[in-house]
Structure 1
Amino acid sequence: MENRSQWGTRAGFILAAVGSAIGLGNIWRFPSVAYENGGGAFFIPYLFALLTAGIPILIMEFTMGHKYRGSAPLTFSRLHKKTEFIGWWGVLVAFVISTYYSVIIAWAISYSVFSFKLSWGSNTEGFLIGDYLKTADPGVMGGLVPGVLIPLIIVWVVALGILFRGVKKGIEIANRIMIPTLIVVFLIIVIRAVTLPGAMEGLDAFFKPDFSKIANPDVWVAAYGQIFFSLSIAFAIMITYSSYLPKKSDITNNAFITGFGNSGFELLAGIGVFSVLGFMAAQQGVPVNEVVSGGVGLAFIVFPAIINEFPALNELFGFLFFASLVLAGMTSLISICETYIAGLVDKFKISRTKAVIFGGGFAAIVSLLFATRGGLNFLDVTDYFINQFGVAVLGLVEVVVVAWLFRKLKEYQKHANEVSDIRLGSWWTISLGIVTPVVLGYMIFGLFKQNLTKAFATENGNYEGYPDSLISLGWTIAGLALVFAIVISLVKWRKSTEQSESIDKREAK
């Protein structure tokens, strides 16, 4: 008998899945990645990556969650009990991400308030690093920063409050409100942005194709990396969300809608970002390439500086921009937290309330590390290593285990085709069996080669000045996620949960 929580409507699931995929990286990462890798020409490898990795993996994870009816650990345990650790690995990667992702949302809340008086002043970098974050030297923790702590508490109260209410009454309702609001707010920003002086020069820089870069394999790796990191795949989220789908759910259509919905928002973000970068370049009398930026610096340094130069309604558009960051961040944070809440409920048979208190509460406590004066430095290192050597490696392992080790693609293809309008063919099996593993393997090989030979560099800049202890912390966090995953997987399930039947076996009876 099916006792698992379910989405109220198909739209509710799609909005939640899109809400998870649309996050801060869509706004501050995609535009700069596209620009640096061929502009308009980048959309060729980007679309190819979406169709050969992004959507195929989405379909695979939707199918696994729907078929096995469980959180990521329970899903992989039902695939084969020796693969349970992969589910916990994804859950622990999500846990780590939630601890610092929540802090960035707290920054956005603060900046929403700062927008009313443009409190960041003319020196936006000095304000962020010094006045607001009060950043200490790399490796030094320092005390808690009240300006970060207070909004961080608000973030966790809202997120955990939504999660307490469950899937249908909490997560679904929250996404039904937040995602349409986000789209409306961001459309207002984009419409205003494209009317600014210099906006067309910015858009020309963004869309102008440089086809010579298409021959560079690094551009294709960048496209796959962008798709991979922006779709919330390979770290437990989509498996967890799809486990709440009703028995008759169109898996393939849902995956296409989610994938193209995420990419559509990224394109919208690119238009908005490069419109305002074009405006900034025009105001300073410099080429657009001299003002292009990405990451935290774009959101909290460059954008405040641009907002200062707006011809009118600076405060309003400053508030709308940072409010959009809060909305995009919150929908993603909720989905990230749901992975370990669902995992705790399934594994230890505790109530959802206890799982939210223990899992979410512990994440909130750990997040305090990033609300200290050394928080920005710890955040940079943790984000880099947990994403590159957590999410990326985990994705490769997941695909190899499913496609090569247990050869489950045909079985999952049959399951998806039975409930979907769009039938999967050889495109799907070739993408997951050959294209995705090869590209991910090449990408990860390059990452290890780079990071074992020199200090790491992130989208925010080169961090060669970081002490070895901080770099070691990054490696340790990424490694411990795997170690703890293996340890937890050795703990026995309560009441033989992992032996429960999949949806296929129940219906066969």
Structure 2
Amino acid sequence: MEQRPQAVPAQREAWSGRTVFILAAIGSAVGLGNIWRFPYIAYENGGGAFIVPYLIALLSAGIPLLFLDYAIGHKFRGSPPLAFRRLSRPAEALGWWQVGICFVIAVYYAVIIAWAARYAIFSFSEAWGDDPASFFASDFLQQDGESTFGLDFVPGVVIPLLLVWIGVIAILAFGVQKGIGSVTKYFVPLLIVLFAILVVRALFLDGAGQGLDAFFTPNWSALTDSGVWIAAYGQIFFSLSVAFGIMITYSSYLGRRTNLTGSGLVVAFSNSSFEILAGIGVFAVLGYMAQATGVPVAEVVESGIGLAFIAFPAIISAMPGGPVFGVAFFGALVFAGFTSLISIVQVVVAAVQEKSGLSRGAAVLTVGGSAAVLSLLLFPTATGLNVLDIVDNFANNIGIVGVALVALVTVGLILRRLSDLQEHLNQVSSFKVGIAWRVFVGVITPVVLAYMLIDQIVQRIGDGYGGLPTGLVVTFGWGVQALVVIAAIVLTFLPWRGSVDELPAETDSKGNA
């Protein structure tokens, strides 16, 4: 039976326009991984040749998945649990699974932003001295290599972490447009300008050409390695913020007649452009470091936390005008991370608000307060780095990949709703999708995700993780992911406040019915 529309709930918010949505979506997609993960992944997987599988992955998986998230959020006008429930009642658990993953990521992601904020201050005096690795682990984080888990707090991390959470809660309390929209409208352009300045400065460093040669020189034989292709799909998948609720939530605040696929193309190509820009900047700087120390670029290449908090401080100490470069670099990390964190927490806030009927302020305080307490309890401690490493790896490689695979199989093969979602996209968008989109979303991407998930599970069961204690890996790796799934099932059976099964009436870009 066809559903009858009802009036839009008073608490349902909306973006003021498509531009604000695009900036918010770019702010979510462009995060820490764009700066410290992509350059290393590209370098390790064929250099310039990696661009081929990267672009194919973008076109065959990244953009199609982004379109799918937009279609679900926009058509069913809700957070992931509500949107999936309106798609099919039993599918609500998928939405809560996505919400749970977002909550877990938010709890540790804020900590890295706090580190970056402290390092921006450290840059003024180059406080790390001659041994950035020892400073980071021992002096700054005060890590206890012998302890499995402990609650010995590190004040130098607690204070900036608390400030990060106060900022996030304050912004979210102002709402979708006045809070998130207003912040991203300034933060995203500022991030792009700041990072562009960093790249230009890096290009004029001695040895920059050596670094760029290492980054762009193609190793065409790498294209015959299946691992390179999986790395490309993995990078696209993780960097676009797809399949774990963010883009479903953000698109649900769009006006009914918004061009979805056109917006998706802008977001996807902007994100990839920033990644390539980050690769140029990072490897120009690494080339300078290689020349200054008289070693090959391969010996100074780092990824992730090692690149940001160990390799780059060493470079900052060696380069002319290092403190200014350091403040700009870590400031860029803070901006990139903060806009992503806001989008992650908003997923949880929207879901809790819609399920419980709480006001926005109450939902923000409940979610933000809970996440802040866990974040402050677990990570600014003498064992926090190991815990963070485990939770991050399992959340991304097991949690997100797992929920994405189950969601695609459910929507495409079990419920067979891809045609409906394709029709919705084509009704409002300038760029039309067809059978190729359904094949990408319903066949190709699930196969790739299944391979990635099985590979990760086999590795984690067989080898553990990073030589860390088994108890720690079981508790914060497998245990946390199992808890998320159990919580998703329990939340599905809790009652909703008010009517949820009827779609709201159409709204304009300002949320007016």
TM-score band, normalised by shorter chain: over 0.9
Q: Determine if the alignment matches structure 1 residue 54 to structure 2 residue 82.
A: no
Asked if 2 retains the 8 angstrom alpha-carbon contact of 1:182 and 1:324, the reply is: yes
Of the structure 1 ranges 132-141 and 173-182, higher mean CA displacement relative to structure 2 is found in: 132-141
Asked if 1 retains the 8 angstrom alpha-carbon contact of 2:151 and 2:381, the reply is: yes
Q: Determine if the alignment matches structure 1 residue 134 to structure 2 residue 134.
A: no
Question: Over residues 351-372 of structure 1, what are the superposed CA-to-partner deviations in whole Å (9 max), with x where a residue is unaligned?
Answer: 0000000001000000011111
Q: Determine if the alignment matches structure 1 residue 484 to structure 2 residue 484.
A: no
Scaled by the length of structure 2, the TM-score of the pair is: 0.96
What are the equivalent positions in structure 2 for 1:426-441 lying under 5 Å apart? Answer: 426-441=435-450
- Number of the residue aligned with 1:318: 326
Question: Over residues 191-232 of structure 1, what are the superposed CA-to-partner deviations in whole Å (9 max), with x where a residue is unaligned?
Answer: 000110010010010000001010111111000100111111
Asked if 1 retains the 8 angstrom alpha-carbon contact of 2:110 and 2:165, the reply is: yes
Offset, 1:142: 3.5
* One-letter identity of the residue aligned with 1:100: Y
Q: Determine if the alignment matches structure 1 residue 193 to structure 2 residue 196.
A: no
Asked if 2 retains the 8 angstrom alpha-carbon contact of 1:69 and 1:503, the reply is: no
Q: Determine if the alignment matches structure 1 residue 113 to structure 2 residue 116.
A: no
SS in 1 for 2:336: helix
Offset, 1:140: 2.6
Q: Determine if the alignment matches structure 1 residue 175 to structure 2 residue 181.
A: no
What are the equivalent positions in structure 2 for 1:209-358 lying under 5 Å apart? Answer: 209-310=218-319, 312-358=320-366
SS in 1 for 2:398: helix
Distance 1:284 1:382 in 2: 35
Residue 470 of structure 2: which of 444, 468, 471 is its match?
468
- Number of the residue aligned with 1:460: none
Of the structure 1 ranges 15-24 and 383-392, higher mean CA displacement relative to structure 2 is found in: 383-392
| Structure 1 stretches of 4+ moved >6 Å | none
Distance 2:56 2:44 in 1: 18
- Number of the residue aligned with 1:122: 130
Offset, 1:455: 2.0
Asked if 1 retains the 8 angstrom alpha-carbon contact of 2:94 and 2:403, the reply is: yes
Distance 2:499 2:493 in 1: 14
Residue 100 of structure 2: which of 87, 92, 102 is its match?
92
Distance 1:40 1:361 in 2: 45
* One-letter identity of the residue aligned with 1:44: V
Offset, 1:61: 0.5
Q: Determine if the alignment matches structure 1 residue 2 to structure 2 residue 4.
A: no
Offset, 1:502: 5.6
Question: Over residues 280-309 of structure 1, what are the superposed CA-to-partner deviations in whole Å (9 max), with x where a residue is unaligned?
Answer: 100111111111110101000000000111
Asked if 2 retains the 8 angstrom alpha-carbon contact of 1:65 and 1:241, the reply is: yes
Asked if 1 retains the 8 angstrom alpha-carbon contact of 2:8 and 2:505, the reply is: no
- Number of the residue aligned with 2:402: 393
Question: Over residues 90-141 of structure 1, what are the superposed CA-to-partner deviations in whole Å (9 max), with x where a residue is unaligned?
Answer: 0010000000000000000000110111111110000000000000135232
Asked if 1 retains the 8 angstrom alpha-carbon contact of 2:61 and 2:440, the reply is: yes
Scaled by the length of structure 1, the TM-score of the pair is: 0.96
Asked if 1 retains the 8 angstrom alpha-carbon contact of 2:8 and 2:504, the reply is: no
- Number of the residue aligned with 2:46: 38
- Number of the residue aligned with 1:367: 375
Question: Over residues 399-426 of structure 1, what are the superposed CA-to-partner deviations in whole Å (9 max), with x where a residue is unaligned?
Answer: 1111111111110111010100011112
Asked if 2 retains the 8 angstrom alpha-carbon contact of 1:67 and 1:504, the reply is: no
Q: Give unmatched runs, 5+ long, in structure 2.
A: 1-6, 508-513
Offset, 1:496: 2.7
Q: Determine if the alignment matches structure 1 residue 409 to structure 2 residue 418.
A: yes
The CA RMSD over aligned residues, in Å, is 1.4
SS in 2 for 1:496: coil
- Number of the residue aligned with 2:72: 64
Distance 2:493 2:398 in 1: 23
Distance 1:99 1:471 in 2: 17
Question: Over residues 249-281 of structure 1, what are the superposed CA-to-partner deviations in whole Å (9 max), with x where a residue is unaligned?
Answer: 001011111111110100000000000000010
Asked if 2 retains the 8 angstrom alpha-carbon contact of 1:67 and 1:502, the reply is: no
Offset, 1:319: 0.2
Asked if 1 retains the 8 angstrom alpha-carbon contact of 2:128 and 2:313, the reply is: yes
Residue 87 of structure 2: which of 79, 97, 102 is its match?
79
Asked if 1 retains the 8 angstrom alpha-carbon contact of 2:256 and 2:506, the reply is: no
Distance 2:126 2:473 in 1: 35
Distance 1:85 1:183 in 2: 37
| Aligned residue pair count | 498
- Number of the residue aligned with 2:4: none
Offset, 1:153: 1.0
* One-letter identity of the residue aligned with 1:351: S
Distance 2:156 2:415 in 1: 50
Distance 1:330 1:303 in 2: 20
* One-letter identity of the residue aligned with 2:257: K
Residue 157 of structure 1: which of 152, 159, 166 is its match?
166
Of the structure 1 ranges 45-54 and 442-451, higher mean CA displacement relative to structure 2 is found in: 442-451
Distance 2:197 2:151 in 1: 40
Distance 2:225 2:73 in 1: 36
* One-letter identity of the residue aligned with 1:398: A
Percent of matched pairs sharing the same residue: 49
Q: Give unmatched runs, 5+ long, in structure 1.
A: 457-462
Distance 1:386 1:175 in 2: 25
